[in-house]
A and B are shown apart, each in its own frame.
Chain A
């Protein structure tokens, strides 16, 4: 079974400041890890994914995340926040589900990022 814990349900930063959103995972097998962003009243957009290649993953809109196996973490960062980054961010782990051969996504509860001018 797998699980995801996102530390901090709400993070507030100033425009131009560093963005750090924390994610810790639990998985019994080598995981695939994802970060998604959700804008109000919209679906989920993939920011980046880790699938056992390079541990530092670069995504869209200047975001990146580093897979640290020893810390079971996959924190999301962006050097300089922009007003358009304000949204809800979800970390997810893909692992084998029950009752089939599928690899379902298990999501964290999300972190709401607000960016202050």
Chain B
């Protein structure tokens, strides 16, 4: 079975720009979550999508938005980038929205805002 794949792996953007990060979930998984991991910190929950609908959100402003597609892949969009948005963005998929089976993480997208 294929795992979670994220693209791109690295990205450099200028403050104020917009960015889109992509994630393909593991085969058979219908739930996708996004996390932000700042340097030296644990991942922080941004939001989760279950069957194409947002199913919970962490403490992130509305300029962080997302989508989930019928094939359960997902996008994370960030508008009006700020320097503090520089982080590793991780996508995780699971076969249920309770995570009983565990979450499979991708390798992440390293975003640098300059």
Residues of A within 8 A of B (CB): 4, 32, 34, 36, 41-46, 49, 51, 90, 92, 94, 97-110
Contact = CB atoms under 8 A, between A and B. Distances in A.
Contact of A104 (B4, B58, B105, B110): B58
A28 to B, nearest CB: 15
B56 A99 contact: yes
A107 B42 contact: yes
B111 to A, nearest CB: 14
A32 B42 contact: no
Contacts of A49: 102
Q: Which of B6, B90, B92, B106 has the most CB of A within 10 A?
A: B92
Contacts of A43: 4, 6, 90, 105-108
A101 B56 contact: yes
A46 B35 CA distance: 15
Given A43-B90, A97-B58, A99-B57, A104 B45 contact: yes
A44 B98 contact: no
Given A97-B56, A104-B48, A109-B42, A36 B105 contact: yes
Contacts of A109: 41-42
- For the complex of A and B, the 4 pairs showing the least CB-CB separation, nearest first, are A102-B56, A100-B56, A107-B42, A97-B56
Contacts of B108: 42-43
